[in-house]
Amino acid sequence: MSLEDRLYPLLGLYQGLPEKVQSAVGTAYRCLPRRWRWGAAYGEFRRLSLESSEWSDEELEAYQLKQLRKVLHHASAYCPFYQKTFAKADFRPELIQSTQDLQKCPLLEKSDLQNHLDEMTSSNVPTSKRLYITTGGSTGVPVGFYLQKGISRPKEQAFLECMWKRAGYEDNDRLVVIRGHVTSSRSDGGIRSLDTTRNWLMLSSYHMTHERMPEYLEAIEQFQPDMLHIYPSAALLLADYLEKYGQSLRVPLKGLLCGSERMTLPQKRMLERVFQCRVYRWYGHAERAVLAGEGTCTEKFYFFPHYGLVEFGPPDEAGLQEVIGTSFHNVAMPLIRYRTGDYVRLSDSKASDLEYPWPAADEIVGRGQDYLVAADGRLISLTAFNMHDGIFDGLYAVQFFQEEKGMADFRFIAGPDFKESRLAEIHERIREKLGQDFEVRFQSVDEVEKTDRGKHRWLVSRMTKHS
């Protein structure tokens, strides 16, 4: 097991140490070889992530089939939930001859994780080798699951670094991180802390008001980072402030690493103009079944075929397809045909600009479980607002707020070039999606409500139930 996993339970203790002690301990830890910190699996996954881009289609198919058979065998032997569902569906893992045969297996819902956690957990992996994780998603309803110590976290680190390298990242780069870090619950509390174990400056996601933005810019410029590792919503707030006051960041950046939230291409172009560097996007989720990131030269999202097996549901009326993932390597709690609730618009598999012969998406859109509720009880998915014509251009952030059927506030943060006269057009386009019996009130705000981890929310719902 890696040192990272062995020491993870002591993270709270470390963070409670005096700043000088933290600095000394963290610096000493950072000097240890990476193979010690992350364990032997890290090196194996790093080689896999970097070398497999050169594999042939036949080699990739063989690898996926091998990993798929492993996870199916383990699930059917040691996970009671899968034993029951396989038997009920008359699905026999031992008859799998290709990855296409997996379509005969039942789909896995998020509710299954909530209701059958113990039965989905492998009886062959001891508690000491499991790492319990929860994620609230956009609904705010926690979903718990297990990762495998010594495997899941080193694997994630290796594949993230592989993706980030496409944007210029190098080992030991100095990063400023604005991704839900908590520094103080007070509105006037401090905004920064230094993670000396990685030489990263951690800045709060909770205090990014216009009044305090100079503190953020000063902290970034003093630290002199190579890159920003940042939520898109936080990057847009910084860009808004810089443009509004005619300023620029006085430190050259190699790039912005922007994951965990949806970012449209117009928003990406805005950030690249303001920060004068590459803005790199990727898609993943806490359950770690599938992972995709932009290429080196293109903005398509490429799904790593050696990270997990990805499938796509049938296209809806807008041509969007749900991401369905099967996890590899984590036998503590396998996820087989897991419905993520995320939707993509797939790229043309014959496109001339494809960098990898892997499944690719032109865009990844909002969460399928986010719904507005009409007066008659209709559920209106926010995937309906996947606009392609730039109707929301110039807005740094948008958010629906609903506490009563058939009525919602459309909150927005306008950029410096946004024309108020465009609101009528936006209102009409929204009404087209919601129906004429749905009342929408527009509200210009300085900031939108976030999750307790500082992530942007497309919908804030105070509805107690949908009907």
Most confident of 16-30, 178-192, 326-340, 341-355: 326-340
Q: Taking each helix axis as running N to C, give the angle between helix 213-223 and helix 232-244, from 0 to 180 degrees, rounded to the nearest 10.
A: 100
The CATH class that applies to domain 371-461 reads alpha beta
Min mean pLDDT across 23-32, 198-207, 275-284 is at 23-32
Label residue 451 by pLDDT band (50, 70, 90): low
Mean pLDDT within 113-135? 91
Per domain, the residue ranges of the chain are 371-461
Alpha-carbon distance of 63 to 88, in angstroms, equals 28
Q: Which two structure tokens, joined as six digits, stand for 449?
A: 């409500």
**pLDDT tens digit sequence for 85-120:** 999 999 999 999 999 999 999 999 988 988 899 999
Phi, psi of 154 (to 5 degrees): -60, -40
Alpha-carbon distance of 205 to 226, in angstroms, equals 20
Label residue 338 by pLDDT band (50, 70, 90): very high
Say whether pLDDT at 383 is over 90: no
122 vs 447, which has greater pLDDT?
122
Predicted confidence at residue 187, as pLDDT, reads 63
Q: Which two structure tokens, joined as six digits, stand for 141?
A: 């309803």
Say whether pLDDT at 366 is over 70: no
Q: Taking each helix axis as running N to C, give the angle between helix 40-51 and helix 152-165, from 0 to 180 degrees, rounded to the nearest 10.
A: 40
Say whether pLDDT at 454 is over 80: no
- What is the CA 181 to chain-centroid distance, rounded? 15
Label residue 185 by pLDDT band (50, 70, 90): low
**pLDDT tens digit sequence for 282-305:** 999 889 999 999 999 999 999 999
Cβ neighbors of 118 (< 8 A, separation 6 or more) are none
**pLDDT tens digit sequence for 225-282:** 999 999 888 898 899 899 999 999 999 999 999 988 888 888 899 999 999 999 999 9
What distances in angstroms separate CA 109 from CA 106, 112, 374, 418, one per listed residue? 10, 5, 25, 41
What distances in angstroms separate CA 400 from CA 217, 385, 431, 443, 450, one per listed residue? 29, 11, 13, 10, 12
Determine the residue type at 177: V
Alpha-carbon distance of 97 to 460, in angstroms, equals 45
Say whether pLDDT at 370 is over 70: no
Predicted confidence at residue 208, as pLDDT, reads 79
**pLDDT tens digit sequence for 226-236:** 999 998 888 98
Label residue 388 by pLDDT band (50, 70, 90): very low
**pLDDT tens digit sequence for 56-83:** 999 999 999 999 999 999 999 999 999 9
β-strands 278-283, 255-258 pairing: parallel
Closest CA to 152 of 334, 336, 333, 329: 329
Closest CA to 231 of 194, 278, 167, 282: 282
